[in-house]
Amino acid sequence: MLSFDDRRKLPSLLLIDDDLVSREVTATVLTLNGYMVHTAETGAAALDLLAGDGNVADVILMDAQMPGVSGVELIGKLRAQTKARIIVISGSNPPKEVGAAADGFLLKPFSADSLEKLLGGAKVSASGKASRLGAADPVISKETLAQFRGMMSPGAVREIYVAVITDLNKRSQQLEAAIAKGNSGEVRRIGHAIKGGCGMAGALQAARIGALFEEASGESESNQLDNRMALLADLRAATRNLERILEAEITT
């Protein structure tokens, strides 16, 4: 199933795995099947991400054994920061106490179908409400991609999305600086630019996040800061998802 399949609404994921190959392969497979995937290399990195927004993911997939905080200790710390469902993933059966503390277990390597079956065929986010990101948004518009492929060479199509990714990385840095300074006008301006550029390229997840940055908010300053930092994490995850699609689907 391609990543731009827009027929399902899936929970957003946080994948915690210290093994680079396992983490990237799993994230790529899940992204190609329509999931919005955040990744963390360690338990500490995951906790830092959740400290910015405990609702960053509906489901957490965590490796059973990692350096530093892991196992039951990590599950306890995750539960203190999020209401997300916690699924242990491992190449062998995890210790009984870890399995008992988690909400489920998947044996590596696992498929997107196995995950969906474990989650009960969930078609909406685990929180029961629409994701801030719009989890139904595919990474890339299949219509826009088809138009590009009809007008130019595969290499030229790839160059477009390389440019989009480069621009997103630059604008993420700009957003981080603007948010730190409390410059709401600059945040909205950058969000508008992301919405427009990514919209033209059919990068739907990133375009959606840009639109959310652009929207004016009547919330308190502290809530605005929390929400914008959470959106920034989402933007970086969307950029990584686009990179995965570039490598897996858009080749020269």
3-class state of residue 88 by DSSP: strand
* Site of tokens 């030229």: 156
* Site of tokens 């990195």: 45
Query: Quick one: DSSP state of residue 69?
Result: S
- Helix-then-strand count for the chain, H and E: 10, 5
- 119-174 per-position pLDDT tens digit: 874 433 333 333 455 445 688 888 888 888 888 888 888 898 999 999 999 999 99
Domain boundaries, the chain: 13-118, 142-248
Specify the pLDDT at position 235.
92
- 62-96 per-position pLDDT tens digit: 998 887 877 899 999 999 999 899 999 988 888 88
3-class state of residue 85 by DSSP: strand
CATH of 13-118, one of 3.40.50.2300, 2.102.10.10, 1.10.10.2160, 2.40.160.40: 3.40.50.2300
- 21-58 per-position pLDDT tens digit: 788 888 888 888 888 899 999 999 999 988 876 678 89
Q: 10 Å Cβ neighbour count for 227? A: 18
Positive or negative torsion for Cα 146, 192, 206, 212: negative
Residue 8, Cβ density class (10 Å: 0-12 exposed, 13-18 middle, ≥19 buried): middle
Contact indicator for 135, 12 with CB cutoff of 8 Å: yes
- The beta strands (E) that lie in the chain are given as 13-16, 37-40, 59-63, 85-90, 105-107
Specify the pLDDT at position 93.
84
| CATH fold group of domain 142-248 | Four Helix Bundle (Hemerythrin (Met), subunit A) (1.20.120)
- Which residues make beta-bridge pairs with 77? none
Kindly report the pTM of this predicted structure: 0.64
Specify the pLDDT at position 162.
92
Specify the pLDDT at position 41.
92
